[in-house]
Chain A
Amino acid sequence: MLKKLEPMINQTPQVTVRETSEPEVGNGLTPVKIETRQLDFFYGSNQVLFDISMQIRERSVTALIGPSGCGKSTFLRTINRMNDIVEGTSHTGQVFVDDVEIYDPRVDVVALRKRVGMVFQKSIPFPKSIFDNVAYGPRIAGNRNKKSLREIVEHSLKQAALWDEVKDRLHDSAMTLSGGQQQRLCIARALSTGPDVLLMDEPASALDPGSTSKIEDLIFELKEKYTIVIVTHNMQQAARVSDETAFFFEGQVIEFEKTKQLFTNPREKRTEDYVTGRFG
């Protein structure tokens, strides 16, 4: 598994790798893709994540639910180090992707983000053509081959179930697309760099029901190949698309379980109250 990661690491040895004591595979479970250990996170002196230890499995969908301000988006953004951009943030503890500690100084954050794609709540097409939007990632990574770029764009748009709607107008501005199409464009864009983890921050919260169900179908198909972590406010959505669900509350993981288990038979009272709509 380490071999895959060589581009991610500047110097292959010495980088902090994850060590495990017990076998984690079995009972039909896929290997662990992302693991956090005792992760605390701070904005300035304000602690927003407390002692988060989670294992997220390869080729599965993990939903993060919880009331606003509970830290689930912050947690999501630690996985591709998007929080680095925000001034005054700090963390303690460890985050592993593919057994490599991603906050290790020897890990290049750009290489990490190539492997860990992200889709934001608001679709943010660049003010460019549809084609250029999807080709942006490969281009900045150094791909200058027109044929290869065309293939990547077509493949990514097909994966995002947008190809048939836009194949005749690839050179129109991305701003001419509808809201739902723009969000699928952003998913295609995130897939274009060839990631194997996809982080989604409320990807359907600003969309109409039709577009939402398209995105959900898409998530279901994408998990064949990708490890997906999705933040959502929509309980039904979490129940529909995810394999495992983590309930965040006030910066802590209250319960992290198989989705079915968490929704039908939660261990914790607070989880039960939240999923049944008694608060949040």
Chain B
Amino acid sequence: MSLNQPDAEFESHLAFRNFLGKAFGIVCMVSTWFSIGALVVLLASVSWQASGWLNWSFITNYDSRHPEQAGVLAGLWGSLWLIFFTTIFTVPVGIGAAVYLEEYTQNGWIKRFIQVNLSNLAGVPSIVYGILGLTVFVRMFGLFGTKERVIELSLFVLTLEIPVPFGTTVLSGALTLSLLILPVVIVASQESLRAVPSSIRHASYALAATRWQTIRHQVLPSALPGMLTGVILAISRAIGETAPLVIIGALTYVAATPGDIESPADLLRNPGSVAEVPFSEFTTLPIQIFNWVKLPNSDFQHVAAASILVLLIFLLVLNGVVIYVRNRFQKNVRW
């Protein structure tokens, strides 16, 4: 059939097929703008509520009974240190586990068993991890009785004073959050390892590389950007977590920052104080927000809104840094 002989059935179908394509595009567009719209509404209402309340003294003040004097200093530093230690615990363990599962184990029932459990763990409610953290890290199964002991550990320049059990400290919180996000980090890292073409591995082996050299020089550089994406998502989730920290007993009102570091200047003046951070009590931004929202004095709603803004900015800066680092990596890795 030539072009100048119209095929009615084909043409009517063609119009419908084109319509389907357009309709699908519109549905996708609506979904995108729906989520963006929700975000804009949230930001607008929070900003409006927070206007006039978010100022420099809000950042540098501790919490107070008087809404005008309440601030997020403790929560901000608490969140910062908590995320810092959570990242330090999670990244090596998560990436190590993913590399082991993808590059070292053979396919078999053990691997499948671990895989299924990982996926299930990723779906366990965070409050359950709080209970786990309370038992394992805060109380250490009550093995050491109710009285807290302190183990002193000398490391060349500084001495760590480790309480046993850990109690409600930054360390316990970070370990609990690490457990919470590890399954997500492992699964995401596995996905990005699987995305590295096996031909790259074979080419490396054929050039007489050992397994470690192949992983180190070919697989990891290619998979790292994807792994970092998984870490970003997981960490972002951890920043916002409240329930498990409330369960392990994080305080709502703290009049000290971990390690008494109240500003970057303090950190530079006395870097040794970082050693005290993991063993300090703490609060976090989401806990402070949760606390303020509950208070009857309506002015505290404005305080909560201002701290929500601080949390969002904190999240944005953190993600921005990681995305910048990731893009630096990605530049060299393209095939």
Q: Which residues of A contact B (CB under 8 A)?
A: 80, 82, 85, 87, 110-111, 113-114, 117-118, 120, 122, 124-128, 136-137, 140-141, 173, 175, 186, 189-190, 192-193
What residues on B are CB-neighbors of A136 within 8 Å?
204, 207, 209, 217
Contact: B202 with A85, CB < 8 Å?
yes
What residues on A are CB-neighbors of B35 within 8 Å?
none
B190 within 8 A of A: no
Contact: B207 with A80, CB < 8 Å?
no
What residues on A are CB-neighbors of B207 within 8 Å?
113, 117, 136-137, 140, 189-190, 192-193
Q: Which of B129-137, B168-176, B327-335 lies on the face that meets chain A?
A: B327-335
Quick one: closest B residue to A80, CB to CB?
B206
Prevailing SS type, chain B contact patch? helix
Contact: A124 with B334, CB < 8 Å?
no
Contact: B199 with A124, CB < 8 Å?
yes
Q: Which residues of B contact A (CB under 8 A)?
A: 106-107, 197, 199-210, 213, 217-218, 221-222, 332-335
Contact: B208 with A87, CB < 8 Å?
no
Q: Knowing A85-B202, A126-B203 are in contact, say whether A175-B334 is a contact too (CB < 8 A).
A: yes
What residues on A are CB-neighbors of B217 within 8 Å?
136, 140
Contact: B208 with A124, CB < 8 Å?
no
What residues on A are CB-neighbors of B335 within 8 Å?
125, 127, 175
Contact: B203 with A124, CB < 8 Å?
yes
Give bound CA distance, A85 to B222, whole Å.
Answer: 20
Give bound CA distance, A186 to B199, whole Å.
Answer: 13
What residues on B are CB-neighbors of A110 within 8 Å?
208-210
What residues on B are CB-neighbors of A140 within 8 Å?
207-210, 213, 217
Give bound CA distance, A136 to B210, whole Å.
Answer: 12
A130 to chain B, nearest CB (A): 14
Using a Cβ cutoff of 8 Å, how many contacts connect chains A and B? Answer: 67
Quick one: closest A residue to B214, CB to CB?
A140
What residues on B are CB-neighbors of A137 within 8 Å?
207-209
Q: Knowing A140-B217, A175-B334 are in contact, say whether A190-B206 is a contact too (CB < 8 A).
A: yes
What residues on B are CB-neighbors of A189 within 8 Å?
207
Q: Please pick, from B106, B203, B222, the residue contacting A87 in the complex, using a CB distance under 8 A.
A: B106
Give bound CA distance, A12 to B26, whole Å.
Answer: 71
Give bound CA distance, A220 to B106, whole Å.
Answer: 41
Contact: B200 with A126, CB < 8 Å?
yes
Give bound CA distance, A150 to B333, whole Å.
Answer: 23
Quick one: closest A residue to B216, CB to CB?
A140
Q: Knowing A136-B217, A175-B335, A190-B206 are in contact, say whether A87-B107 is a contact too (CB < 8 A).
A: yes
Contact: A124 with B210, CB < 8 Å?
no
Q: Please pick, from A118, A122, A128, the residue contacting B206 in the complex, using a CB distance under 8 A.
A: A118
Quick one: closest A residue to B212, CB to CB?
A140
Q: Please pick, from B208, B210, B218, the residue contacting A126 in the complex, using a CB distance under 8 A.
A: B218
Q: Knowing A126-B200, A127-B222, A136-B217 are in contact, say whether A113-B206 is a contact too (CB < 8 A).
A: yes
Contact: B205 with A113, CB < 8 Å?
yes
Q: Knowing A173-B334, A175-B334 are in contact, say whether A193-B107 is a contact too (CB < 8 A).
A: no
